[in-house]
Amino acid sequence: MKDITKIIVPFDTSTTTESALEYAINFAGDDKSIEILLTHISDMSEDISIYSILDERIAQIKKDNPYFRGTLNSVIKSGDLVENILETQKEFQADLVIMGTKGAENESEITNTSKLILEADFPVIAIPETSKEFEVKKIALVLGQKEIDDASVLETLLDIARRFHSQVHVLTICNEDGCYGYTPADEKNENAIEYYLENFYSHHTFQENTDIEKGIFEYIKDKEIDLLAILPRNHAKKNEPSEGRLTKLLTLHTDIPLLTID
């Protein structure tokens, strides 16, 4: 299993990106193997003041977080934010991107974070501005009723669960009549979850709600979930790819960190 050792954090000193950076620092903790790469996208990539600002911020982070034992570096690029993040992830072979988000009420709005999550074929954690204190004790993995396209991506979730000794709840929302029942897809999914998540897998809950998004957020509130995880289907190969509408809605509206595993 490949552990998470390299994390990209898009960073511009705004409150939103500071929240993402704080989450990344807490995520790394005292793990010496982790490198956090602050990625700054600027139209003034040659402006030396940008380098100075990032160097000063990195020095301050190390001073304020003495428990942090990992590595902090920065890279400055110019151009489109999402394109640069995708290129940087490929260039540095990063295992995870942690990105801040302000979210949006209008579901037709396209934010940089929602765009990245739909285009990325690697794990991303979106950190909303409303996110509370860092905690990863309870994780809710949302599954549909189709067979998991590539169960090996659950290794990322296992790494996180191991790191924080988390309990993983699995949630399926039924939004139409007749969707209950133990199907061949259910059996394959259950076997995959038990195999990949080991003893960190707590239980699988099936709930009925005509509004899937509402059902997910009600479950999160009721069970005091710390991290919401989903497996986007817009890059599916075995099954028909989806347009990613639910993924986008959850990215825009979530109040807790959202992990998308692709």
Domain-located, residue 1: no
Q: Does 232 lie in the same domain as 179?
A: yes
This prediction's pTM: 0.92
* Phi and psi at residue 77, to the nearest 5°: -135, 170
For residues 53 and 215, the model is more confident at 215
Q: Which of 128, 154, 181 is the last residue of a domain?
A: 128
Q: Which of 105, 128, 151 is the last residue of a domain?
A: 128
Number of domains in the chain: 2
Q: Does 104 lie in the same domain as 143?
A: no
- Output the DSSP codes for 106-153: -TT---HHHHHHHH-SS-EEEEETT--S---SEEEEE--SSPPS-GGG
Q: Does 256 lie in the same domain as 151?
A: yes
Q: Does 151 lie in the same domain as 66?
A: no
Q: Does 121 lie in the same domain as 46?
A: yes
258-260: strand order across its sheet: 71-77, 35-41, 6-10, 96-101, 124-128, 258-260, 227-230, 138-142, 167-174, 201-208
Report residue 184's pLDDT band, with 50, 70 and 90 as the boundaries: confident
Q: Does 31 lie in the same domain as 112?
A: yes
Task: Provide the domain limits for residue 146.
Answer: 138-260
CATH number at residue 92: 3.40.50.620
pLDDT digits (tens, 9 = 90+) for 111-137: 899 999 999 999 999 999 888 889 999
pLDDT digits (tens, 9 = 90+) for 21-36: 999 999 999 999 999 9
Q: Which of 128, 151, 173 is the last residue of a domain?
A: 128
